[in-house]
Amino acid sequence: MKKSLLLAMTMILTTVLLAACGGGNNNESSSSSASSSPSASVSETASASASESPSEEPAAELGGKIKFLSHRTDLIDDGTFDKYAEAFKAKFPNAEVEFEGITNYANDIKVRLTTGEAGDVNMIDSSLPNTELANYYEPLPESLFEDVYFADMRLHEGQRYGLSTGVNTQGIVYNKQAFAKAGVDKVPTTLDEFYAACEKLKAAGIIPLYMNYGAQWPIGNWAEGSIKYVAGDMKWTDQFVTSDAPWQVDNAWGILMNIARTLVQKGYVEKDLATNNWEMSKGEVASGKAAMYFLGNWVIPQLIGAGAKSEDIGFFPLPYDNSGKYNAPLGSDYMIGVSKNSENKELAKAWVEFFVKESGFIDSQGFMPVYKSQKPNVPQLAEFQSFNPTFLEDVAGDPKFNEIANKAEIDLFVGKTTQDLIVAKDLQKAYDGLNERWKKARAALGY
């Protein structure tokens, strides 16, 4: 990672730390104290963002109807996205935005892309190789990529197809009240301490960590969602383009998988592994019936929306070993793009710009800003930063890695493969099977 970028992020996070210590205003604290209606505070954020935009005449020249496909079914159901659409319509009076929420987005968007039913705007499939972007997406204006993080993440042959919708880091989001009830008086900074905390929580009748095994997509964090920063190299997977055996029990894949398997085997996760209880789980963690998630900072506002007080939710880096030192990622949330099949591409591009720059989505959903000159507003980042993790910015890897995985029918970033590995009787044997498929796929592609 470039030193200047790391310095910039360190300065940003330091600003968050100072602001939090100084009791400065932030969206999270105001939403938690304003009322018992978190969705109202989100709507207010959207309205405020729109009202703070420079005064200008409505752009009547752009009009028509577009459809936006999103994984954020919660924000569609609670009317938050409708508030964004109203603000967009105030700017473009002849425009309408229709929303479609997809619960199993990581899987279903792949099908939608191939059938041409991906709407006008959607969140880009994380496993789609950059070499295939032009088959499904329209290039975005260069003006959108000035001073942004991950500008080149979805770059191919000089064209940019995706804009980040938020900057995340990743770690353990926890309920402080659940910790206190179980007698966990210190945030764990080693793997042994983490397991000890889980044991105390279990003994107190609290689900230590809600893994969301049944939902599939969250458990990708125990595999490809975290391997690069655990390995200490954000291009770590590039080496496997010329390797026949990426999966090993003693590399980053194995380190994370063995933690996940231990959590399941010791009963430190939810009992019902078969059911997709994602929405329900937020209430469990918010209320303290469950204590932890292994997810990104984006989930914090969702817990507050589910009833938790902001001051009761904390955030610390995953202690994936006993060294007391750890890396943490700076990664993009979903990238947003315009469908190549859209019949209203200019309006779709206007929606992309509005959604990222003006809607208030990034701020209200707990992300770090996409634009580097802006400051983050999530107080829990101050606690996270206090553990002094080494931040590593995600970068685009060798597209051949995803090509090989697709050829081998190994569903990276979806979760099915990770599900199988977590409950496999013999992890090495399961890894051997994946490596054999990988080897055959590499050979078939000539890599």
pLDDT at 202 over 60: yes
What percent of the chain has a predicted confidence (pLDDT) above 90?
Answer: 77
Burial of 161-183, coded b for 16+ CB within 10 Å and e otherwise, reads bbbbbbbbbbbbbbbbbbbebbe
- Burial of 1: CB neighbours in 10 Å, binned 0-12, 13-18, 19+: middle
What's the sign of the alpha-carbon dihedral 53, 57, 61, 64? positive
Cross-strand pairs, 360:
none
The model's pTM is: 0.68
For residues 295 and 221, the answer to whether their CB atoms sit within 8 Å is yes
Cross-strand pairs, 338:
121, 138
Q: What is the mean pLDDT of residues 298-318?
A: 96
* Both structure tokens of 149: 């993080």
pLDDT at 20 over 70: no
Least confident of 40-49, 195-204, 295-304: 40-49
Confidence of residue 1 (pLDDT cuts 50, 70, 90): very low
Express each pLDDT in 333-392 by its tens digit: 999 999 999 999 999 999 999 999 999 999 888 888 899 888 777 789 889 989 999 999
Q: What is the DSSP letter of 240?
A: G
* Angle CA 138–158–360, to nearest 5: 55
Confidence of residue 29 (pLDDT cuts 50, 70, 90): very low
| 3-state secondary structure at position 288 | coil
pLDDT given at position 381: 86
Q: What is the mean pLDDT of residues 137-164?
A: 96
Antiparallel, parallel or unpaired: β 155-156 and 121-123:
unpaired
Antiparallel, parallel or unpaired: β 290-296 and 170-175:
antiparallel
Q: What is the mean pLDDT of residues 205-214?
A: 98
| 3-state secondary structure at position 108 | helix
Find the Cα–Cα–Cα–Cα dihedral 349, 355, 357, 363, rounded to 10°.
-160
Express each pLDDT in 222-272 by its tens digit: 999 999 999 999 999 999 999 999 999 999 999 999 999 999 999 999 999
Q: What is the DSSP letter of 131?
A: G
Express each pLDDT in 2-14 by its tens digit: 333 333 333 333 3
For each of the domains in the chain, give its residue range(s) and CATH number, in order of start. Answer: 35-166+334-376 (3.40.190.10), 170-330+393-442 (3.40.190.10)
For residues 62 and 95, the answer to whether their CB atoms sit within 8 Å is yes
Q: What is the DSSP letter of 371?
A: B
pLDDT given at position 60: 55
* Both structure tokens of 269: 């996760």
Torsional class of 87: left (φ above 0), alpha (ψ -120 to 50), beta (otherwise):
alpha
Torsional class of 412: left (φ above 0), alpha (ψ -120 to 50), beta (otherwise):
beta
For residues 263 and 198, the answer to whether their CB atoms sit within 8 Å is yes
Q: What is the mean pLDDT of residues 441-447?
A: 97
For residues 31 and 63, the answer to whether their CB atoms sit within 8 Å is no
pLDDT given at position 366: 81
Q: What is the DSSP letter of 324?
A: S
Question: Nearest-CA neighbor of 412 among 241, 223, 143, 167?
Answer: 223
pLDDT given at position 375: 73
Sequence-ordered list of residues with C-beta below 8 angstroms from that of 276, at least 6 positions apart, any chain: 103, 104, 212, 214, 215, 216
Express each pLDDT in 44-75 by its tens digit: 344 344 434 333 444 558 999 999 999 999 99
Least confident of 85-94, 121-130, 388-397: 388-397
Helices 416-423, 252-265: crossing angle, 10 deg rounding: 60
For residues 330 and 338, the answer to whether their CB atoms sit within 8 Å is no
Instruction: Supply the mean pLDDT for the chain.
Output: 87
Express each pLDDT in 102-144 by its tens digit: 999 999 999 999 999 999 999 999 889 999 999 999 999 999 9
* Both structure tokens of 389: 């993790």
Sequence-ordered list of residues with C-beta below 8 angstroms from that of 87, at least 6 positions apart, any chain: 46, 47, 49, 50, 354, 358, 359
pLDDT given at position 50: 40
Q: What is the DSSP letter of 142?
A: G
pLDDT given at position 412: 87
Sequence-ordered list of residues with C-beta below 8 angstroms from that of 294, at least 6 positions apart, any chain: 170, 171, 172, 173, 209, 211, 218, 221, 222, 318
